[in-house]
């Protein structure tokens, strides 16, 4: 069967989508770092709640009003409980990731985040007893080794930030595995945009008491900051909107390319984010740290290649 060539307009559209995905993804990461570390807005749970509020509102507008994708309804109480469980894991991942950005540079944060395939393989085995073949596990050795090397050579290493970042990466992998287990039946499957539509409001409800208890009077502090510099409000609105567009462009890139292409682009995105963050924040990077990160990325690329061949 011969391949059908995409028209130039289609290629330009796909290139535009990928550029939008890269920009929003790296943008939200850098803005989170700026707000939580450089600006001194030390409220990662509240920031995550702003993100989830934006995702809830913009998801509703995109699906119910603009009809970007058809609305899928929740069909049972059991399905709602499953989505709530996913939302809890999702919250843990985003909050932990935002906390880690207070203590770690973006470059090191991305190096740890690249180990997601390792955690996915571990959780898949523990929860489904589905083991990868030996070659797949061998490709995960450089993924983990690279992070160990990068950790030893990281000038700005912080143990608490490291633990939070590993926790965020593990939670992200756990969500992928749990989502595959929980929403398997044809009647329960939701596309990522509809899943976000239901997960985001649940996340806001879960984060609200955590914010009030752990980040007391954060609303009052934010209002006080806004009186001194109203720019903080625009930063929060822009940052929260970008958090939604990360999900939207992620969905659209997958739709117009493939999940495998997204994985390859994601690996490259991590490297781009590292370079951009070093240029912007000027955080010190050692040769050992960069060598470790490079080894991790190479391991992830090898992992993707092996998975692609085993799925054929």
Give the highest mean pLDDT range of 100-104, 186-190, 271-275, 307-311: 100-104
Return the closest-CA partner of residue 273 out of 108, 140, 158. 108
Name the band, by pLDDT with cuts 50, 70 and 90, for residue 165: very high
What pLDDT digit, counting tens, does each position of 238-273 carry?
999 999 999 999 888 888 876 666 766 777 788 888
So what's the pLDDT on residue 312? 62
Task: Decide if 294 contacts 285 (C-beta within 8 A).
Answer: no
Tell me whether residue 109 is in a domain.
yes
Return the closest-CA partner of residue 54 out of 11, 94, 104, 89. 94
Query: What integer is the mean pLDDT of 293-297?
Result: 88
Task: Decide if 52 contacts 204 (C-beta within 8 A).
Answer: yes
Examine the pLDDT at 210 and tell me if it is beyond 60: yes
Please report, for residues 38, 102, 235, the alpha-carbon distance to residue 35 in angstroms, rounded to integers and kept in the order given.
6, 9, 8
Tell me whether residue 8 is in a domain.
no
Return the closest-CA partner of residue 267 out of 22, 44, 91, 3. 22
Q: At what angle do helices 44-60 and 231-256 cross, to 10 degrees?
A: 60
What pLDDT digit, counting tens, does each position of 2-56 carry?
444 445 567 888 889 989 999 999 999 999 999 998 888 999 999 999 999 999 9
Tell me whether residue 9 is in a domain.
no
So what's the pLDDT on residue 9? 66
So what's the pLDDT on residue 40? 84
**DSSP for residue 183:** T
Domains held by the chain: number = 1
Match 């939070």 to its residue by tokens: 164
Q: Where are the alpha helices (DSSP H) in 77-185?
A: 77-103, 106-113, 116-128, 134-152, 159-182
Tell me whether residue 293 is in a domain.
yes
Return the closest-CA partner of residue 91 out of 183, 207, 189, 176. 207
Query: What integer is the mean pLDDT of 189-203?
Result: 93
Reading the block at residue 164, the tokens are 């939070």
Examine the pLDDT at 65 and tell me if it is beyond 50: yes
Name the band, by pLDDT with cuts 50, 70 and 90, for residue 57: very high
Tell me whether residue 5 is in a domain.
no
Number of CB atoms found within 10 A of residue 113's CB: 22
- Give this prediction's pTM: 0.87
What pLDDT digit, counting tens, does each position of 92-145 carry?
999 999 999 999 999 899 889 989 888 988 998 899 887 777 888 898 899 899
**DSSP characters for 20-76?**
HHHHHHHHHHHHHHIIIIIS----HHHHHHHHHHHHHHHHHIIIIIS-SS-------
Tell me whether residue 165 is in a domain.
yes
Task: Decide if 33 contacts 277 (C-beta within 8 A).
Answer: yes
What is the span of the domain harbouring residue 216? 42-68+76-310
Tell me whether residue 26 is in a domain.
no
Tell me whether residue 163 is in a domain.
yes
């Amino acid at each position: 069967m011969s391949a059908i060539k995409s028209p130039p307009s289609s290629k330009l559209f796909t290139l535009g989508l990928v550029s939008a995905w890269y920009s929003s993804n790296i943008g939200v990461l850098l803005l989170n770092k700026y707000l939580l570390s450089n600006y001194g807005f030390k409220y990662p749970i509240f920031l995550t709640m702003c993100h989830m509020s934006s995702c809830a509102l913009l998801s509703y507008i995109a699906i119910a009003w603009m009809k970007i994708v058809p609305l899928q309804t929740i069909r049972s109480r059991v399905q709602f409980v499953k989505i709530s469980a996913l939302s809890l894991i999702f919250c843990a991942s985003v909050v932990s990731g935002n906390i880690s950005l207070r203590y770690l540079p973006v470059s090191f944060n991305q190096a740890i985040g690249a180990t997601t395939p390792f955690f996915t393989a571990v959780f898949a085995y523990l929860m489904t007893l589905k083991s990868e073949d030996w070659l797949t596990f061998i490709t995960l050795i450089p993924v983990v080794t690279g992070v160990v090397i990068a950790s030893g050579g990281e000038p700005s290493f912080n143990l608490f930030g490291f633990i939070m970042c590993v926790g965020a990466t593990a939670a992200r992998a756990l969500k992928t595995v749990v989502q595959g287990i929980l929403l398997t039946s044809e009647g329960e499957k939701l596309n990522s945009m509809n899943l976000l539509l239901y997960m985001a409001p649940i996340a806001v409800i879960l984060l609200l008491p955590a914010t009030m208890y752990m980040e007391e009077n954060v609303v009052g502090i934010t209002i006080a900051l806004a009186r001194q510099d109203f720019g903080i409000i625009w930063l929060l609105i822009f940052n929260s909107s970008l958090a939604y567009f990360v999900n939207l462009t992620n969905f659209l890139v997958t739709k117009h390319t493939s999940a495998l292409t997204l994985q390859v682009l994601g690996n490259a995105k991590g490297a781009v984010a590292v370079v951009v963050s070093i240029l912007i924040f000027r955080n010190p990077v050692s040769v050992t740290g960069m060598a470790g990160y490079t080894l991790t990325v190479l391991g992830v690329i090898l992992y993707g290649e092996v998975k692609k061949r085993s799925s054929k």
